[in-house]
Amino acid sequence: TTDFGIKEALATLGLKDINEGTSTGSNNFSNGEIIESYSPVDGKLIGKVKSTTKEDYEKVMTTATAAFQTWRTMPAPLRGEIVRQFGDKLREKKEALGKLVSYEMGKSYQEGLGEVQEMIDICDFAVGLSRQLHGLTMHSERPGHRMYEQYHPLGVVGIISAFNFPVAVWAWNTALAWICGDVCVWKPSEKTPMCGVACQNIAAEVFAANDLPEGICCLINGDYKVGELMSKDTRIPLVSATGSTRMGKIVAKEVAGRLGKTLLELGGNNAIIVTPDADIKMTVIGAVFGAVGTAGQRCTSTRRLIIHDSIYDKVKDAIVKAYGQLRIGNPLDENNHVGPVIDKDAVKGYQAALTKVVEEGGKIIVEGGVLSGEGYESGCYVKPAIAEAKNSFKIVQHETFAPVLYLLKYSGDVTNALDAQNGVAQGLSSAIMTNNLREAEHFLSVQGSDCGIANVNIGTSGAEIGGAFGGEKDTGGGRESGSDAWKVYMRRQTNTINYTTELPLAQGIKFDL
């Protein structure tokens, strides 16, 4: 693990080398079973953390609820100042954290750095927002009355995040929740626990330097059972969960059962529509990065290309050619385009998808396969594959978290492509490649894409933090990150003030005593 400066990165992030023991991180009460984190890059043990028991969880909740009492009374722009400092710390540690993300999760170093950049960006966004938590004022129908609304902090926000964006998704939630006056309890994926401890350490430094209670930022470790503690906990008014649709449905039911709020960011089955007026070169870049970036493990990864029959062969040939140039290997080596998938289970899911698509009548046009031999010892490196398929195939309807791309053909006008694009259970990201204004506008219209994200002449992945991020249908309906996504982290209050000596009733009701 001394290769590519991993040892140094771990030290910079306050993480213990595997020989030194368990990384507990700051403000961590975890005492449970050991979780070992193995790198999909080289199969080596990176480190260990302890999982959170029910008793540990109670301690976390006690510090979090106590910290909320302090944090919520601090003026929002001053909370913004803390988030600004946190963003600066992230700038300092960008290379180390980006490297750890790459090593523990398997995405390319460039994408690891990109992920940390998203954290920095959301901090900047949140700092500005801390002076803009605006409510409206309304004109009262009663004389001498004033009406307005205001937003107050919500309380303890529970965050459940996935392995694929092991640090950024947490930051999208915390940076906003913090300026909103909430405190956070985070359960990172048990597949990327070291990233969780690293982030906790960075945040802890900032809170300590400002004499603020660390309970503002809490970390819990473990599998779904630990997440369940939060779903059931009435002290947590909002649970923000990112992951599979299956997980989201369980969390949604549990939290709704106690009338709590959820913010769900679940699966996608994202397509790019390629019309006869598409720029082929741009299409290839967008589609290939979308399908193989993060080894096809983004929620926004491109899974389907819906190509017009008149240009089908041309696009297919160009994409197949581009796949021929992909270099698969150690993601810390910047010569490689594609790193490993997260673990051997993901490899199995990938293999099953390729078997199923053939069983259903599809045709593989770029062969897949698991790589072995030198540099591939972890057993997690797979070849990005392409199959010609039909939208109706069960496997095409399913989100396989791996680099498998399906080519679908459409004929006639763009409405036929849209039927296929919208004809899946998920509704996260979508794109159209066209220089035809009518097609582009139709795609964006009410009759167009039914997804939370709809792009013209760019791919499905790589959303910026300034926009609200999330999607419809099986994607869960939540929006996080930019725009007015902050509102879900606050409680809204409508206030009416009477500054007269009379008490007129609304709706003109007479009630004389």
- Known catalytic residues? 265
* H or E element that contains 202: helix 193-209
The binding site for ligand UN1 (CB under 6 A) comprises: 118, 164-165, 169, 242, 298-300, 461-463
Provide the 3-class DSSP secondary structure of residue 170. helix
d(CA 108, CA 57): 34
Tokens of 7: 């040892």
Q: How far apart are CA 366 and CA 320, in angstroms?
A: 7
Q: In 27-142, which residue ranges form alpha helices assigned H by DSSP?
A: 54-71, 76-92, 94-105, 109-129
Nearer to ligand UN1, 165 or 207 (CB): 165
Q: How many CB atoms lie within 10 A of CB 417?
A: 25
Dihedral (CA of 163, 169, 173, 179) sign: positive
190 within 8 A of 16, measured Cβ to Cβ: no
For residue 425, the 8-state DSSP code is S
Q: How far apart are CA 46 and CA 332, in angstroms?
A: 15
What minimum distance in Å lies between the beta carbon of 432 and ligand UN1? 17
Contact 25, 179 (CB under 8 A): no
Question: Given the complex with ligand UN1, which of 177 and 463 has the nearer CB atom?
Answer: 463
d(CA 431, CA 19): 47
Tokens read off for 281: 């070169």
Report the distance separating Cα 430 and Cα 421, nearest Å: 8
CB 188 within 8 A of CB 6: no
Cβ pair 451, 281 in contact under 8 A = no
CA distance 6 to 266: 31
Number of helical (H) and strand (E) elements in the chain, helices listed first: 15, 21
Euclidean distance between the first and final Cα of the chain, in Å?
Answer: 82
Measured CA to CA, the distance from residue 287 to residue 458 in angstroms comes to 9
* Helix, strand, or coil (residue 143): coil
Tokens of 449: 């894409």
CA distance 126 to 84: 8
Closest alpha carbon to 164 in 341, 392, 292? 341
Rounded-to-integer distance, Cα 228 and Cα 208, Å: 30
